[in-house]
Structure formats: C-alpha cells, structure tokens
Amino acid sequence: MQQKYSMSPRKISSLLIAGLMILITACREKPMEQQQENAKEFPEANYCFRKIRFHPADSSRQDVLRMSLTVIGDSVVGSYNWLPFEKDARRGILRGIRKDSGLQLTYFFMQEGGYDTADLSVILRDGKAVIEGGEPSLGLSAVLEQVSCLE
C-alpha cells in the first residue's frame, strides 16, 4: 500500500522562500567574516612607519624610509618615501586594498627623474610593517617600525 504525499502550492511557496532566505543569509555571512579577518590586521585608521639607517662612519648621516597609510573600509591610500642623506630620493604614493590579513598595494613613484610602478604587499608583524615586492634591484622590500603619525 503506497501513500501519496502531496503539498499545497502555499506550502511549496513557503519552503522556497525559507530556502532562499537561508541561501541569501549564508552568502552574506562569508564576506562579513572575511572583512572581520582583514580588520584584525589593519582596522580602519591612519598608520605611520619609519626605518632610519645610520651611516657607520658618521651617525649624523642617515637614510630614512617612511610609509604612511590610511585604511578606510577595504581601500588603502598612502605614501612611501626613501630619503637618503645624499641625493636621489624616491617618493611615491600607494593605492590598494586590504586582502588576506594584509594589504595589496600599487606603488607609483619617481626616482632619478623617472617614473615607475611596483606591486607591494604589506603585513603587520609585531608592530612592524613588513613590505615585500617590486624588482629586487629597486630595494623596496623592508621592515619598518610603527611610529606616531605626529612625528
């Protein structure tokens, strides 16, 4: 003896709506989790980093690497400058996004009268910005200490 099981159109509609609501909620939760993961490393704020290299023969001569970043939502803007004691400084701007607990940035810079770009990644580790990327000959990779933006 077989039993027939039938549903009214109203029950089918209710089940479809409930299924769609669950699907929509599940799809929205994942990006929120990703945003929260990104925010752990770089929450919305202004950040400043610096590294000073003293010349061994004369400690009054110093080269300075400086980076400032502003994070708003998943967007990032800032600057990255190499200011040597002597000539040929490199100055530029950064634009990019927060991604995978770090930052993916494009660096637009000028050095020795020429313009260039490089892709950089930045992560925070122990209060320091770990910068990687660009052609090795450019020397863009560095570890900079976090400092007050008022300095």
Q: What are phi and psi of 119, to 5 degrees?
A: -90, 130
Give 114-136 pLDDT, tens digit per residue. Answer: 999 999 999 988 889 999 999 98
Can you give the residue ranges of every domain in the chain?
A: 45-147
Other residues' Cβ atoms within 10 Å of the Cβ of residue 84: 15
**CA proximity to 121, closest of 137, 145, 141:** 141
Distance of CA 28 to the CA centre of its chain: 22
Of the candidates 128, 130, 84, the residue with the CA atom closest to the CA atom of residue 103: 130
User: DSSP character for 138?
Assistant: G
Q: CA 120, CA 141: separation in Å to the nearest integer?
A: 8
Over residues 5-22, the pLDDT tens digits come to 555 666 565 555 655 455
Does the pTM of the predicted model rise above 0.85?
no
